[in-house]
């Protein structure tokens, strides 16, 4: 089982993995871009949720 196709060595035994099993630089760039987009969406949702919670508390206290 390969735990991480970005690393050149097996995370379990330390053996060097064959190049054909590793992600290419282009694949890594796509994955990084997708991860950054997902992180930004999560950040935006959290900010919106925080704002809504603050508004709810303000209404409740008035």
Q: Is residue 38 part of a domain?
A: yes
Domain that holds residue 55: 24-61
Mean pLDDT of all residues belonging to the chain: 95
Q: Is residue 3 part of a domain?
A: no
Q: What is the tens place of the pLDDT at every residue in 6-30? A: 999 998 999 999 999 999 999 999 9
pLDDT at 32 over 90: yes
| pLDDT score, position 62 | 81
Q: Is residue 37 part of a domain?
A: yes
Determine the 3-state secondary structure of 41 from DSSP: helix
* Strand ranges in 1-62 using DSSP code E only, listed in sequence order: none
Q: How many domains does the chain have?
A: 1
Q: Is residue 15 part of a domain?
A: no
Q: What is the tens place of the pLDDT at every residue in 33-58? A: 999 999 999 999 999 999 999 999 99
Q: Is residue 6 part of a domain?
A: no
Q: Is residue 55 part of a domain?
A: yes
pLDDT at 1 over 90: no
Q: Is residue 32 part of a domain?
A: yes
Q: Which residues are CB-neighbours of 6 under 8 A, at least 6 positions away? A: 22, 23, 28
């Amino acid at each position: 089982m390969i735990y991480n196709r970005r690393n050149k060595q097996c995370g379990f035994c330390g053996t060097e993995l064959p190049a054909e099993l590793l992600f290419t630089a282009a694949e890594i760039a796509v994955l990084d871009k997708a991860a950054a987009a997902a992180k930004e969406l999560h950040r935006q949702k959290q900010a919106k949720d925080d704002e809504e919670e603050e508004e709810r508390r303000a209404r409740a206290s008035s």
